[in-house]
């Protein structure tokens, strides 16, 4: 019984997760590459904006 319950929970979780991914794919206005394998532009997905603090970052200095 417990085993069946665990399996049901896992399958339901997977269904919700996959459903959400596909729903987001439809809804997302930009970056339709999100979730795509090997896609060089999909790494910008789900990050609102990359940021860098010039005041503190060591990369800031000229070489």
Partner 1 sequence: MNFCVALGGNPNAGKTTLFNALTGSRQHVGNYPGVTVDRKEGRYVQNGHDMHIVDLPGTYSLTAYSIEEVVARDFLVNERPRVTINIVDASNLERNLYLTIQFLELGIPTCVALNMIDVARGRGIEVDDKKLSRLLGVPVVPIVARSGFGKKALMDAVETVAEAPLLQPLRVSYGRDLETAILEMEKIINGSNFLTDLYPSRWIAIKYLENDEQILEKGRETDPQIADGLEAITRNVGAHIEETLETYPEAMIADHRYGFINSVLKQGVIKERHDRNRLFLSDRIDKVLVNRFAGPIIMLLVLMGLYQFVFTYSEVPVAWCERAFEWLSDMVSATLTDGLLKSLIVSGVIDGVGGVLGFVPLIMFMFFGIAVLEDSGYLARVAFMLDRVFQIFGLHGSSVMAYIVSGGIAGGCAVPGVMATRTLRSPKERIATLLTAPFMNCGAKLPIFALLIAAFFPHSRAQMMFILTLISWAGALLAAKFLRMTVVKGASTPFVMELPPYRLPTFRGLMIHTWERTWQYAKKAGTVILGISVLLWAAMTFPRLPAAQVETYANQRVGIVSTAAPQVVEELEAASTSRPLSTAAAELKDILLVVDARQAGAALRHSLAGRVGTRLESVTRWAGFDWRTNIALIGGFAAKEVIVSTLGTAYSLGTVDTEVTDSLATKLVAEPGWRILTAWSLIIFVMFYAPCFVTVVCIARESSWKWGAFSMVFNTSLAFFLAVMVYQAGAALGY
Smallest gap from residue 1 Cβ to partner 1 (A): 11
d(CA 13, CA 10): 5
Please provide residue 33's backbone torsions phi and psi, each rounded to the nearest 5 degrees.
-80, -10
d(CA 54, CA 3): 53
Site map (CB under 8 A) of partner 1, residues 4-43, x = contact = x-xx--xx--xx-xx--xx--xx---xxxxxxxxxxxxxx
Query: Which residues sit at the interface with partner 1, rule CB under 8 A?
Result: 3-4, 6-7, 10-11, 14-15, 17-18, 21-22, 25-26, 30-44, 49-55, 57, 59-63
């Amino acid at each position: 019984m417990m085993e069946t319950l665990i399996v049901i929970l896992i399958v339901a979780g997977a269904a919700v997760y996959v459903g959400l991914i596909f729903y987001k794919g439809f809804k997302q206005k930009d970056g339709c590459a999100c979730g795509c394998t090997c896609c060089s532009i999909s790494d910008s997905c789900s990050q609102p904006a990359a940021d860098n603090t010039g005041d503190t970052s060591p990369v800031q200095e000229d070489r």
